[in-house]
Amino acid sequence: MRITNGFALKGDSIDPTQIIDPIQIYMRLVSYLESFMKLLRDSIGVYLLKKWKQTEKENIVPVDETMLPEILRIQAEGFDSENQENLIRYSKKLGKIFYVIKSQDKIAGYCIYYLKPELSFRGLKKKSVIYSIAIDNKFKKMGYGRKLLEESIKEMRLNGISSVLLFVNVNNTPAIKLYENMDFQIIQKIDNVCGKEETCYTMELKLA
């Protein structure tokens, strides 16, 4: 039995390898579409960064490739190492909004954003999303995370960013409290963004 336009022809035997699974096709299309949208988003983000204005920030500098081994080590302490390829890619494409905080020439932590342009009736609205933020275990509970956020968000405001978004695991109480103290608001729950089978809050800080 042959499969022609989704129908089996009489007299032919069925070959399971020829049967097309509609669900599998749908999942592939969704995956391709998501990849394309991320590529488009990042391409627009790179373009917007050409006119990016940087502020003077004490002990906070843009990333450079010499910092990556230490940044990847810090990232691996608290997150899935599967995302390290994205950190390397963003360090090359979005280096101006990949912030590194230092303590006596040692890297204490990092915070990386990507830009999320949205069209509205008023024109192009620029939002930013915190892709990843981490502080070295040796420097936690010393205010480095808050300072990193405060200084980078000042720069976001200077560059016309309308709001900052982030995703945080619903069980990460210390981080949630920090964000709430900085006026981030919980806007929704979402699954499988922070990690597989994890539930996160989407939080937003409006700047304009």
Neighbouring-strand partners of residue 62: 99
pLDDT at residue 5 greater than cutoff 70: no
Q: Are residues 20 and 122 in the same domain?
A: no
Q: Based on the domain organization, do 117 and 59 belong to the same domain?
A: yes
- Asked if 112 contacts 74 with a C-beta cutoff of 8 angstroms, the reply is no
Domain boundary among 51, 76, 93: 51
Query: Is the domain of 198 the same as that of 134?
Result: yes
Instruction: Clarify whether residues 121 and 162 are in a common domain.
Output: yes
The whole-chain average pLDDT of the chain stands at: 84
85 and 137 assigned to the same domain: yes
CATH number of the domain within which 63 lies: 3.40.630.30
pLDDT at residue 35 in the model: 63
Residue 199 belongs to domain spanning: 55-206
Q: How many Cα atoms sit within 13 Å of 20 on the Cβ side?
A: 12
Number of domains in the chain: 2
Q: What is the pLDDT of residues 24-60, one digit of tens each?
A: 776 676 566 656 556 666 677 777 888 899 999 999 9
**Same domain (yes/no): 39, 91:** no
| 70 and 38 share one domain | no
Alpha-carbon dihedral 27, 32, 38, 41, rounded to 10 degrees: -120
As a whole number of angstroms, the distance between CA 33 and CA 28 comes to: 9
pTM for this predicted structure: 0.79
* 181 shares its domain with 195: yes
DSSP string, 83-139: GHHHHHHHHHHSGGGEEEEEETTEEEEEEEEEEEEEEETTEEEEEEEEEEEEE-GGG
Do 44 and 77 lie in one domain? The reply is no
* Residue 96: pLDDT over 90: yes
146 in the same domain as 64: yes
Are 18 and 113 found together in one domain? no
Q: Percentage of residues in the chain with pLDDT exceeding 90?
A: 58
pLDDT reading at 3 higher than 80? no
Q: Verify that 18 and 102 share a domain, yes or no.
A: no
The average pLDDT across 88-108 equals 94
